[in-house]
């Protein structure tokens, strides 16, 4: 009978003692770098209160540009995540055609500056479409008119999608091959294993570089100002050319960009903490 007796319960520590073990307590401390965000916001508030002319006037003038900047950044970011995933999976494909197309896309796009790509999308692509309309006799294509915001988003997505492809590829390759083999041994298809097993783990690995890409995209969105998009940078340039006060204008514009990038960095850091896991 002794061999069938249950083992004695293992001793457990009370809840109050667990709280004193380093690393076991829940992380409730606020990220200290939020104070930097508050400091910059406070500095902007002081400028608006004590120097409403010109800073308050500048803010009212560029507020629609802030909306355009945020909108273009968010739309481009969502789309580039999808393009990056397709490109990353293509770079890992065993199909030579898919692999070659994906690699060619990544290598060519990464070798051309973003500003050059945006200018080409805005000035060259509409002309090509109009020529195609003349050649095919299509009035719709022949009278094609470029929408600055749409083409700016396309240019940003096309460029940043190449960088995201490499981030996805590196993240997927960082997951041990045994994970895929175990999923396939359970009867999953390749796509099911990638969706339910590999990609969720890879996402945690690539979250920091994805956050960095979002911040870089937010700053690089200022380049769309050269293709007739009335973003924050363009609106600042318009106000400066009308009132000839570049110091005040670009000080406030720089602070507004700084607030957006610092806030984005803190949000990304919070998401990283929520999804962090020990290896």
Residue 30: its pLDDT value, please?
A: 66
The whole-angstrom separation of Cα 186 and Cα 279 is 23
Higher pLDDT, 184 or 253: 253
* DSSP symbols for 197-262: IIHHHHHHHHHHHHHHHHHHHHHHGGGGGGGT---HHHHHHHHHHHH--HHHHHHHHHHHHHHHHH
Is there a contact between 263 and 37 (Cβ–Cβ < 8 Å)? Answer: yes
What percentage of the chain carries pLDDT values higher than 90? 66
pLDDT in tens, 8-60: 554 554 545 444 544 444 455 667 889 999 999 999 999 999 999 999 999 99
Residue 201 — φ and ψ, nearest 5°?
-75, -40
| Beta carbons within 8 Å of 202's beta carbon, 6+ residues apart | 168, 171, 172, 174, 175
pLDDT at 277: 56
What is the C-alpha to C-alpha distance for residues 274 and 277, in angstroms, rounded to an integer? Answer: 9
* pLDDT of the residue at 110: 92
Q: What is the pLDDT of residue 14?
A: 53
Instruction: Give the percent of the chain with pLDDT over 70.
Output: 88
Cα(191)–Cα(213) distance, rounded to whole angstroms? 26
CB hemisphere CA count around 122 (13 angstroms): 20
Scan for tokens 């939020």, then name that residue. Answer: 34
What does pLDDT average to over the chain? 88
275 pLDDT more than 80: no
Cβ-contact 40, 261 below 8 angstroms: no
Interatomic CA distance for residues 43 and 66, integer angstroms: 18
Q: Is the pLDDT of residue 119 over 50?
A: yes
How many Cβ atoms from other residues are within 10 Å of residue 92's Cβ?
15
Considering only CA atoms, which of 203, 265, 249, 221 is closest in space to residue 47?
A: 249
Task: Kindly report, residue by residue over 167-223, the tens digit of the pLDDT.
Answer: 999 999 999 988 888 988 888 888 888 888 898 888 888 988 999 999 999 999 999
pTM score, whole prediction: 0.85
DSSP letters spanning 142-171 = HT----HHHHHHHHHHHHHHHHHHHHHHHH
Mean pLDDT score, 143-172 = 94
Query: Is the link from the previous residue into 54 a cis peptide, with omega within 30 of 0?
Result: yes
Q: What's the maximum distance between 2 C-alpha atoms anywhere in the chain?
A: 96
- Note whether 237 and 202 are within 8 A (CB): no
CB 164 within 8 A of CB 80: yes
Q: Please give the Cα distance from 242 to 250 (Å, whole number).
A: 14
- Model confidence band, residue 144 (pLDDT cutoffs 50, 70, 90): confident
Q: Please name each of the domains of the chain with its CATH number.
A: 53-274 (1.10.3720.10)
For residue 153, pLDDT over 90 is answered with yes
């Amino acid at each position: 009978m002794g061999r069938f007796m249950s083992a004695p319960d293992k001793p457990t520590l009370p809840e109050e003692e667990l709280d004193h073990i380093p690393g076991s307590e829940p992380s409730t401390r606020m990220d200290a770098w939020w104070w930097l965000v508050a400091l910059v916001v406070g500095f902007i508030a002081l400028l608006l209160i004590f120097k409403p002319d010109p800073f308050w006037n500048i803010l009212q003038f560029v507020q629609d540009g802030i909306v355009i900047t945020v909108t273009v950044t968010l739309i481009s970011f969502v789309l580039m995540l999808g393009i990056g995933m397709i490109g990353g999976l293509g770079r890992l494909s065993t199909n030579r055609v898919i692999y070659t197309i994906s690699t060619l896309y990544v290598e060519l796009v990464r070798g051309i500056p973003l500003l050059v790509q945006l200018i080409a999308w805005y000035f060259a692509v509409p002309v090509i479409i109009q020529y195609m309309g003349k050649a095919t006799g299509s009035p719709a294509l022949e009278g094609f008119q470029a929408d600055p915001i749409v083409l700016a988003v396309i240019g940003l997505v096309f460029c940043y999608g190449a960088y995201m492809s490499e981030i996805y590829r590196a993240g997927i390759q960082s997951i041990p091959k045994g994970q895929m083999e175990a999923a396939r041994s359970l009867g999953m298809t390749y796509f099911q294993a990638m969706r339910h097993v590999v990609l969720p783990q890879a996402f945690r690995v690539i979250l920091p570089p994805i956050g960095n890409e979002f911040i870089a995209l937010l700053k690089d969105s200022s380049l769309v100002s050269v293709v007739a998009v009335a973003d924050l940078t363009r609106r600042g340039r318009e106000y400066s050319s009308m009132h000839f006060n570049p110091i005040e204008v670009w000080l406030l514009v720089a602070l507004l960009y700084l607030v957006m990038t610092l806030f984005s960095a803190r949000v990304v850091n919070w998401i990283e903490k929520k999804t962090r896991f020990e290896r």
